[in-house]
Amino acid sequence: MSVYNFCAGPAMLPPAVMEKAQQEFLDWQGLGVSVMEVSHRAEPFLTMAQECEARLRRLMNISDEFAVLFMHGGGRGQFAAVPMNLHLDDAPAVYINTGIWSDGAAKEAKKYTDVVEINVRDDKDGQFGVLPVSQWPLPEKASYIHYCPNETIDGVELFDVPTHPTAPIVADMSSMILSRDIDVNQFDVIYAGAQKNIGPSGLAIVIVRKTLLEREGVPRPGILDYAIEAEQGSMYNTPPTFAWYLADVVFKWLEEQGGVPAMQRHNKNKAAILYDYIDASDFYINKVDKDCRSLMNVPFWLNDESLNERFLALSQQAGLLALEGHRFVGGMRASIYNAMPVAGIEALVTFMEQFAQEHS
């Protein structure tokens, strides 16, 4: 029986990536030792690190105006790093609230800087929606504008990018980085915890416009300091070397698949199969407006919620893992990142059909 893992994060990795890592585990690059056992300052690791950055730059079309950092502390580490690095004395940070993760980012930022929160949720009759980006009431002055293009828990994704005449745009792309085409130049800071679309947890990828490295910010730990990390090639202290290596294996896999455009087609196709089925069914519902439905995280509810436990038990028996919704929103959630094959979606829909038939 095939097993498909729908976990929101840490999420499944492509089997080809796991096999490659397994093959190289005890003997990396013919050195007779694992990548985990070598100095990050010695040539083999430094070369891998450089190639990894170059690969990410190609995949996302990142220009020299940006530094690419491989940092510790995952997504939440960046919830603190962003305000610490970008704080200005004379302007508040603006946090756009579209759901649970953007709310969490704002709460953390308040410890380090003045925060203005703007709620742009536009929920009607139990249906989740978001105001179009052009209608967001952004203030004239801000140290930066933070938003979350994909709300992993709420299943809400924003496909338009906000703009501002002066304030940098900061995006938490933890759960959608590399899943579809974006224009990096529309952003000033992009960050992502690795464990959804990139690799092991703990690593954070940060893409930051170099001009922002000059901001003084507030006193902060060296490991969360963008300027220090940029100057030191992300090796101010020992970086998470295994996670960095595995990210490189994932980036190679992405290149072999045809890069981000191929992922975008793959992800749109997968999401369409699942949403179309849910919409056509009177057994399941999705509560998100069609124009802001996530391609990565598909929450759905059984109309009869007393069947939830049975649905979870039987789906697990069928090899469909981790479909339980986040405890804050309930119901079910299928996280279908880059690594999830179409066959996994087909298996899920087949199971959902059968379950609906047997319980109607």
Ligand X SMILES: *Cc1c(COP(=O)(O)O)cnc(C)c1O
* Catalytically annotated residues: 101, 172, 196
Closest CA to 206 of 222, 183, 229, 238: 229
* AA identity, residue 190: I
Of residues 192 and 230, the one with the C-beta less far from ligand X: 192
Of residues 62 and 190, the one with the C-beta less far from ligand X: 190
Q: Is 253 annotated as a binding residue?
A: no
How far apart, in whole angstroms, are the C-alpha atoms of residue 238 and residue 226? Answer: 15
Smallest gap from Cβ 177 to ligand X, in A, equals: 10
3-state SS class at 66: strand
Instruction: Give CA torsion, residues 209, 213, 216, 221, to 10 deg.
Output: 110
Q: Is 136 annotated as a binding residue?
A: no
Q: Is 172 annotated as a binding residue?
A: yes
Smallest gap from Cβ 28 to ligand X, in A, equals: 25
Name every residue whose Cβ is closer than 8 Å to that of residue 110 and which is 6 or more positions away in sequence.
none
The beta strand positions in 186-276, using DSSP E, are 189-193, 203-209
Q: Is 129 annotated as a binding residue?
A: no
Smallest gap from Cβ 360 to ligand X, in A, equals: 34
Smallest gap from Cβ 339 to ligand X, in A, equals: 15
Phi and psi torsions of 260, nearest 5°: -65, -40
Of residues 97 and 174, the one with the C-beta less far from ligand X: 174
How far apart, in whole angstroms, are the C-alpha atoms of residue 312 and residue 332? Answer: 9
Cα–Cα distances in angstroms (integers) from residue 355 to residues 310, 317, 318, in the given order: 9, 12, 11
Query: Within its chain, how far is the Cα of 193 from the centroid?
Result: 6
Query: In the complex, which residues of this chain contact ligand X (CB under 6 A)?
Result: 9, 74-76, 101, 148, 152, 172, 174-175, 193, 196, 201
Of residues 71 and 212, the one with the C-beta less far from ligand X: 71
Name every residue whose Cβ is closer than 8 Å to that of residue 341 and which is 6 or more positions away in sequence.
none
Smallest gap from Cβ 79 to ligand X, in A, equals: 7
Of residues 9 and 239, the one with the C-beta less far from ligand X: 9
How far apart, in whole angstroms, are the C-alpha atoms of residue 16 and residue 175? Answer: 21
Q: Is 41 annotated as a binding residue?
A: yes
3-state SS class at 228: helix
For tokens 């946090």, the residue is: 95
Closest CA to 103 of 134, 147, 167, 156: 147
Of residues 201 and 308, the one with the C-beta less far from ligand X: 201
Smallest gap from Cβ 184 to ligand X, in A, equals: 18
Q: Is 152 annotated as a binding residue?
A: yes
Q: Is 286 annotated as a binding residue?
A: no
- Annotated binding-site residue numbers for L-glutamate: 41
